[in-house]
Structure formats: C-alpha cells, structure tokens
Structure 1
Amino acid sequence: MQFMLKHSFKLAVSALVVLMGIYLYLTYGGSSNGTQKLPVMYSAPDFTMTDAVSGNDVKFSDSNGKVRLVYFYWANCPDVCPPTTQLMSQVQDKLQADGQFGTDVEFYSITFDPERDTPEAIKKYSSKFHADYNGWKFLRGEEKSTAELVTKFKDLIVFKDPETNEFSHLDLIALVDRNGNVRKYIEGNHDGTPTTADTIMKDIRSVLKA
C-alpha cells in the first residue's frame, strides 16, 4: 500500500504539472515575432537572496532597468532543468555577442532545493553551462521562503514528494521587463517544445524595445 501511495502521488503530481504546462503554454507560450508587444501580466515580486557564487546578498529590484529571465530549478533534477539551463546558456552566448549580457539583460536561476544545492554544488552545476556570473546570478535561500516566492510568481508550481524529497515543477522561465513586470512565461527545453535560443531572443528584443 505504501508503494502504491508513493507512486500515486508522483503520478498525480506529474499529470498536474503536464496539464498546467500545456495550459500555460497555450495561454502565454509561443514566441513573439520581434515586433509584437507582449502584455504586462503582473508585477514580479521583489526578493533578496544569497548569490551562491559570490556570497553576496542580491535584491531583485536593484536590477530594474534590465530585462531578466527568472528560472527556478534544482541541481539534482533528472530531466528538464539541465536542458533548460543549457538553453539559457545558448541565449547567454547570443547576448554576449551583441554586447548586452549583464548590461541590458540578466539571468536569475533560483534553487528550491537549498539543502542539497550548497554553494559548492551550485558552482559545479553552473560551470557545466559556462555561466557568465557577471550577468547570471545563481541564488539560494531558505527552502520555505523560496517555496513562498514561487507562489508569488503566480502560475509557477513546485511540488515536493514527502517520501523521496524529490521535486516536480513547471519548466517555465519568467520574462521580466525593465520595470519589474512579468511579460511572459517561456516554455523550457524538453521533448516536443518548440522553444529555441532564437525564439527567446525574439521575446527579449520585443521587451527591450518596449
């Protein structure tokens, strides 16, 4: 019975995550053509967390004036987090080539598994994707406050299996404009997803022009 309950929980959570992902993609997904203006969805929550690389506190609103991509992840993720982080790395390369990374656009990767995602583990994880820390912040805070922060990004969802301490979550990147408004959820990089570095660049350019 315990085996059935454990796996029933995982199946139910996985099904909900898939359904919510489909809903959000159909509602907010796709990509702008570079000229379409993305609507303002809501004001992104402000927060302060520790930069796992530098050890400094980072306040999100201090980066107002820049376009930001915000992604919640965990380094032990067995499926979607690594390919989506790799996708962000490809976007980083394009922004660097344009001279905009760190100056006009920043990335925020926030772990919701701080117990296992120590600063050392995060440095090891981020180095796999040749992250440029001048424009890419890998943040960590207390697990409870991070879970609360996820809910403040409204349509983002994270579940923790109490039996295994494994996580299930929506693989979405929040696109935040210069004024701190969430403008879109971008589908991450997993099977069947049409998102590419080029489509994300179109969305970023659309917001930069706004």
Structure 2
Amino acid sequence: MRTRAGRHALVASLFALWLAGRAAVPASADQPDEPRPPLEFVPPEPGTYELHRIMRAPEGRVLTVDGRVEALSRFTRERITLLGFIYTSCMDPEGCPLAYRVFGRLKDEIEAHPALRDEVQLVSLSFDPARDSPSVMKRYAGSRLEEDRGLRWFFLTTRSVEDLLPLVEGFGQDVRYSEDRSTGLPVRQLSHVLKVFLIDRAGYVREIYTSTFLHPRSIMGDIETLLMEQRSEGDPARSATSAR
C-alpha cells in the first residue's frame, strides 16, 4: 500500500505536470510499424501454465475521445483487456510509441482470427490530463480509431489529476515529471516505467508487462491461455453479467 508521503509526492508530481506548460505537440502515433526483435526465449504453449490473479483493476472516471465521462470498468470487463498508460508527447522509443506499435500488431493479428477478435479489447489511457484532451487523444489514435473489424481499441483520458490519481495508484503506475536543472521548473517530459496490464473478463489483472517482455508472441500466448481457462470454467464472468 502506498504510504501517505508517497501519495503526497505523486500528487505533487502530477499537479506540477498539470502546471508545466501546455504547448507540447503530441507525437503522431500513426507511424510505420517496426518489428520487435525476436524473443530471447521460447514462450510456453498456451494452456500449459497459469496466470494468477494479481489484483483487481481499479475503478475510476475516464473520458472517451467523444468527451463522454464513463466508468473505467466499462472498458475492462466482459472481454480480455490489454491496458497501457501512455501520454501523447512521449518520445522514448521504448516507451509509449512501443506500446502503440505492439498494440497495433496485436490488433492486426487478433482480427485475422475470428475466434479471437470478439474476445479481446485494447485500452490506451493517458496519464497527462493537462495536455491529452479528448480531441488530442483522437488525433493520437489516428487511423486506428476508424478501424472496425471486430477488435475494439479505446483511447481514453481523464478530466483532471483528481480523476487520474486513483487509477495510477490502483494499478501501481508510478509517474514523475522532469526538472530543468537550471531553473528547477518542471518540463514537459514524464518519467515512467512502461507497464501494460492484461485483465480478465472479471476485471482482475493477470499479467503485467514491461518493455522487455512486451512482445506480441508472448502476449498472444497469455491471451489464449486466459481464453482456455475461461472456457474450461464455463466463463463465470460472462454468466454473472447475463444474470444481472
């Protein structure tokens, strides 16, 4: 559990980011796909291992690209969800742009399999509400937002730091702003460890990927493992939903 001092530090970082200039131009995520280097290990076959429940995905309020306020759980239930925190002005090739490329590759691969494409969804959630308005997120999404071949990819932000805080804390996603050493003022660069969360239909996080392990091949195996598990158990999450 995050200490009170740690929470205050996170609040201070996020509010400083909120106040730090808003003139940065968001990076275009619609860039040529660069293949990931081959895995240095052979992933186990789907269904031959277990993915244990790590934690329940937190609840909170988010904004869609159309400006609607929704509960985050609307985007983390009923389908297997891959959720990653991003910010649109990120320039680190092993950060947010990497997540976008991997999500895009997964989307293309999953949509090629009719048995999978209605079972999975993708979520890119900004942790820079000061800059990443719904319209900015819409531009960031590019052509991916207009594609509709079965697999949904949501681009979300929040109205404020207050709405964002329970989400970054709940997922354990640390974020810090960078300082200009000559002035001591915050600058438009976030410091964060890339994390992508695999969430089952019941809303539980089952795997957390960092940039080292964010590879379409291993993620596909984990998705198939969850689907096999849920089918063998009769999909209690979907049964609970239909019983409401």
Provide the TM-score with structure 1 as the length reference. 0.74
Among candidates 59, 62, 75, match of residue 74 of structure 2: 62
Following superposition, the deviation at residue 73 of structure 1 comes to 0.5
State the AA in 1 paired with 2:112. A
What secondary structure does 2:83 align onto?
Answer: strand
Alpha-carbon deviations, 1:88-137, whole Å to 9, x = none? 11001111111333x21111111111222122321221116567476111
Q: 2:52 matched to which residue of 1?
A: 39
Taking structure 1 as reference, are residues 199 and 174 closer, same or farther at Cα in structure 2, changes over 3 Å only? same
Partner of 1:113: 128
Q: 1:22 is matched with which residue?
A: none
- Segments of structure 1 that go 5 or more residues without pairing to the other structure are 1-29
Does residue 145 (structure 1) correspond to residue 145 (structure 2)? The answer is no
Q: Distance in 1 between matches of 2:68 and 2:44?
A: 35
Deviations 1:137-185 (A, max 9, x none): 111111232133111113x211123621421111110100011110010
Matched-pair contact (CA < 8 Å) for 1:51–1:140: yes
Contact 1:89 / 1:130 at 8 angstroms: preserved in 2? Answer: no
* 1:86 correspondence with 2:109: no
Structure 2 counterpart of 1:199: 218
CA distance in 1, matches of 2:219, 2:112: 15
Measured in 2, the distance between the counterparts of 1:108 and 1:148 equals 17
Describe the shift of the 1:165–1:32 C-alpha distance in structure 2 as closer, same or farther (beyond 3 A). farther
Corresponding residue for 2:142?
A: 127
For the 8 Å contact 1:151–1:157, the answer to whether it is kept is: yes
Classify 1:32/1:44 alpha carbon distance in 2 versus 1 (closer, same or farther; 3 Å). farther
Q: Tell me which structure has the larger Cα radius of gyration.
A: 2
- Would the aligned equivalents of 2:121 and 2:152 in 1 still touch at CA under 8 Å? yes
Deviates more, 1:178-187 or 1:120-129: 120-129
Matched residue count = 174
Distance in structure 2 (CA, Å) of the matches to 1:83 and 1:131: 21
Match in the other structure for 2:182: none
Q: Show the counterpart of 2:210.
A: 187
**1:32 and 1:203 in contact (8 A); partners too:** no
Match of 1:104 among 101, 106, 119: 119
Distance in 2 (CA, whole Å) between partners of 1:198 and 1:185 is 15
With normalisation by structure 2, the TM-score equals: 0.64
Cα RMSD, aligned residues only: 2.2
- Specify the SS of the correspondent of 1:70: strand
Contact kept? 1:32, 1:38, Cα under 8 Å: no
Change (3 A) 1:153 1:131: farther
Q: What SS does the aligned partner of 2:130 have?
A: coil
Aligned counterparts of 2:44 and 2:190: Cα–Cα separation in 1: 31
**Alignment partner of 1:166: what SS?**
strand
CA contact (8 A) 1:86 1:129 kept: no
